[in-house]
Chains A and B, each alone.
Chain A
Amino acid sequence: MNEREKLLEQVMAYDFCMIDLGLFLNTHPADTNALKDYRTCYEQSEKVRKLYEEKYGPLSLRHMPNQHCWQWIDSPWPWVKEV
């Protein structure tokens, strides 16, 4: 695993926590512990996502492109097999 993939896996891990906690909160909307965990995951995710996007380009289209080139297509797509 290279540096880019390592950082990406951190984003993936925090985002997954939000997906899982989000499902739980849909049926337990007043669970303050789960809400607290969600808030932590969100903060951590934002932090590593910002780091990743500064270094390797956008993770989604909700991202300000630079003035000269369209970086969205630069980093490899996640299904591509490494050789």
Chain B
Amino acid sequence: MWFYEKKLEYPVRIKKVDPRMAKYITSQYGGPDGELAASLRYLTQKFHMPTKELQAILNDIGTEELAHLEMVGTMVHQLTKGASVEQVERGSLGAHYTDHDLAVYPSNAAGVPFTAAYIQSKGDIVADLVEDMAAEQKARATYEYLINLADDPDVIDPLRWLREREVVHFQRFGEALRIAQELKDKKKFY
């Protein structure tokens, strides 16, 4: 279970309205390589992890991803809060405004709603951990694209920090994969 902590994992303090950037960053909220997919993937896969280390890794990274989801949602919210309809239209957010006003909504950058089909929970620990490593790389790449699209330092700073976390998670999953592989070798499945 979880207790809420009344703080973000890392500060987000965006002053300037920028609906265009909000539209892009939304993909890390509810897109294919976003934080919702990441947290859901790991917190679902944890149930079939066979050892205490592997259970800990999936549980704790999944938990951190929820904190990232909150940071990304905060970014999207602060980028649109106070925007005029004209700014919204100029930032190509008119379609989003039609269905959601300026509410944060889990979709990709093109507005396609989140789907659980973005994630897998295969039951095979090697297959799942390799997917998790790929997921971290895809999230890292997305943050890099977003940094290329951004110009406000208040936006770039948390994006850089989030990118760095994907690199760290990739490393931890790499160690988890080694543990899983050793375990599989010992058991001799074939």
Contact = CB atoms under 8 A, between A and B. Distances in A.
Interface in A9-45: 9, 11-12, 15-16, 19-20, 22-24, 26-27, 29
The B interface is mostly helix, strand or loop, or mixed, namely: helix
Interface in B41-68: 53, 56-57, 60-61, 64, 67
Interface residues on B, range: 20 to 34
Contacts of B172: 23-24, 26-27
A12 B12 CA distance: 12
Given A19-B64, A27-B176, A83-B82, A75 B11 contact: no
Contacts of B5: 15, 59-60
A11 B6 CA distance: 11
The 6 lowest CB-CB distance pairs between A and B, nearest first, are A27-B175, A79-B74, A26-B56, A81-B78, A81-B81, A78-B8
A55 to B, nearest CB: 14
Interface residues of A, number: 28
17 contacts: A1-B13, A12-B8, A12-B10, A16-B10, A19-B9, A19-B60, A20-B168, A23-B168, A26-B56, A26-B60, A27-B57, A27-B175, A27-B179, A60-B6, A61-B4, A81-B77, A81-B82
